[in-house]
Amino acid sequence: MLTYTIRRLLIAIPTLLFISLVIFLILEMAPGDPLADQPLTVPPEVREKMRAALGLDQPAWVRYLLWLKQFFWTEPLHLVDSLFGTAFADPTGRIVSWQFRAPAMDIIWQRLPQTLWVVGLAYVVGVVIAVPIGIISAYRQYSWFDNLGTFVSMVGFSVPTFFTGVVLIIVFAVNLHWFPSIYDTTLKVTDWESFLKQARQMVMPVTVLALFNASQISRFMRASMLDNLQQDYVRTARAKGMSEKVVVLRHVLRNSLIPVVTVIALGIPTIFGGAIITEQVFKVNGLGQLLITAIYANDLPMVQTLTFIFAALTVLFNLIADVLYGVLDPRIRYD
């Protein structure tokens, strides 16, 4: 397993380099101009100077190599510096976002907590409610519970989050005044009161995202359970005289969870990707909003860095999912 993991990690290096090149080329070819949002009153000479200040006067391959150096050399060094107080990195060599004129990674670190809190919690909540729903739906296939679950997950899956989000805002924020419609990212949880405030503002975005996640995962769970419930070993377990609880939870569930766990693991990188739309709707302003505003502003270094981090996480969690599969299923061996 270890050699397998190491081999996979080694294969990941050229893959990621290739991905970074593809991202760079796509961004390079995409239409748009980082100065497009500057008003028309800015004269062309000034524009040209601003362009040069961003490094845009360099040829594309120079900019790509520079980015590689910044991402794989300067940024890690900087991380070491900030952790151990050393001074290896050249402070002027970091990846600088065009719209903020500030190191892209600093902004990403700043955004990470709120995204992890809201989107990550929504994912956890989604999983926690999806698994039992999937189990019961499969165990009582075609019962009213299963039909209701199917209906709700169809709704959760097919109704876009910007719609559910706005509906929730109009009902619970505008009409009932239960929850705030705008997320306060400056709120610091220091006591019980601020915790309640934080909980209140997280309710709606978490609900919207959790519904979406849960409907997806509960479908997987249900399908996987149904698959296993029809297996002979389940009959064996019943014939052994195991209680239904043991049959369902120990035999069926454990086997059904194998594919579901990998699906859940593969979904984790999307947490870091943030929920672009939901973050916009509730003004959570996490990584998703950072990405979309960077795209709008043609902030290529930021877009490149963010997308590459997502790509790297996806590759990493693919590997984790594969390794998990091997750990959970004794039939799978990687050697």
Partner 1 sequence: MLDAPARRKLVEVRGLRKYFPITAGLLRRKIGDVKAVDNVSFDIFEGETLGLVGESGCGKSTCGRVILRLYDPTAGSIRIEGREIADAPQSDLRELRPTMQMVFQDPQASLNPRMTVAAIIGEPLDEHTTLSKAEKLARIYELMDAVGLNRNYANRYPHEFSGGQRQRIGIARALALNPKFVVCDEPIAALDVSIQAQVVNLLEELQDRLGLTYLFISHDLSMVRHIADRVAVMYLGQIAELAPRDDLYLKPLHPYTQALLSAVPEPDPELEAHRRRIILTGDVPSPANPPKGCNFCTRCPKVMDICRQVEPAFREVEPGRFAACHLYSETNETAGPTAAAEARKSIQQGV
Partner 2 sequence: MRLKSALLGAAAGIALAPAAFAERGADGHLNIIYWQAPSILNPYLSSGTKDVESSSMILEPLAGFNEKGELFARLAEDVPTLANGGVSEDLTTITWKLKPGLVWSDGTPVTSADVVFSYEYCTHPEGGCSQAARYEGIQSVEALDDMTVKVTFTAPKPNPYNAFVGSTSPIIQKAQFANCLGAAAQQCTDANFGPIGTGPFKVTEFKPNDVISMEANPNYRDPAKPAFATVTFKGGGDAAAAGRAVLETGEFDYAWNLQLAPDVLAGMEAAGKGKVINAFGTLVERIEMNMTDPSPSLAEGERSTVKHPHPILSDIRVRKALSMAIDRNLLVEVGYGSAGRPTCNLVPAPEMFASDNTECLSQDVEGAKALLEEAGWTDSDGDGIRDKDGKKLSLLYQTSTNAVRQDFQALVKQWWTEIGVETELKNVDASVFFGGDPGSPDTFQKFYADVEMYANNFDGTDPEPYLSQYLCDKIPGPDNGWQGENINRFCDPAYDTLVAELARTGEIEKRAEIAKKLNEMLTKDSYVVVPLVDRGRNSAHSNTLGGVVLNTWDSELWNTSDWFRVK
Which spans of this chain sit near partner 1 (rule: CB under 8 A)?
Answer: 142, 231-233, 235-244, 246, 251, 254-255, 258, 328-331
- Residue 146 found at the interface with partner 2 (CB under 8 A): no
How far apart (Å, rounded) are the C-alpha atoms in residues 325 and 319? 10
DSSP category for residue 73: I
Among 63, 78, 111, 251, indicate the residue that binds partner 2 (CB under 8 A). 111
| CA end-to-end span of the chain | 6
- The CB-of-256 to partner 1 minimum distance in angstroms stands at 11
- The CB-of-119 to partner 2 minimum distance in angstroms stands at 15
Which run of H or of E encompasses 96? Answer: strand 96-97
Nearer to partner 2, 77 or 319 (CB): 77
- Residue 47 found at the interface with partner 2 (CB under 8 A): yes
- As given in the structure block, the two tokens for residue 293 are 């505003």
Residues 14-33 within binding reach of partner 2 (CB under 8 A):
31-33
| Spatial CA neighbour of 12 closest among 323, 329, 311 | 311
Question: CB under 5 to 8 A by kind: which of partner 1, partner 2, none does 238 bind?
Answer: partner 1
How far apart (Å, rounded) are the C-alpha atoms in residues 212 and 189? 27
Pair 129, 301: CB distance under 8 Å: no
- Residue 60 found at the interface with partner 2 (CB under 8 A): no
- Residue 289 found at the interface with partner 2 (CB under 8 A): yes
**Tally of residues, the chain:** 335
- Residue 140 found at the interface with partner 2 (CB under 8 A): no
- As given in the structure block, the two tokens for residue 240 are 């052994």
Amino acid present at 220: F
- As given in the structure block, the two tokens for residue 77 are 């060094």
Question: CB under 5 to 8 A by kind: which of partner 1, partner 2, none does 39 bind?
Answer: partner 2
Q: Say which residues have a Cβ less than 8 Å from residue 182's Cβ, sequence separation at least 6.
A: 282, 283
How far apart (Å, rounded) are the C-alpha atoms in residues 259 and 255? 8
- Residue 49 found at the interface with partner 2 (CB under 8 A): yes
- Residue 285 found at the interface with partner 2 (CB under 8 A): yes
Among 1, 6, 25, 91, indicate the residue that binds partner 2 (CB under 8 A). 91
> Under the rule (CB under 8 A), what is the footprint of partner 2?
31-33, 35-47, 49-54, 91-92, 96, 99-103, 106-107, 110-111, 169, 173-174, 177, 180-182, 184-186, 280-281, 283, 285, 289-290, 293, 296-298
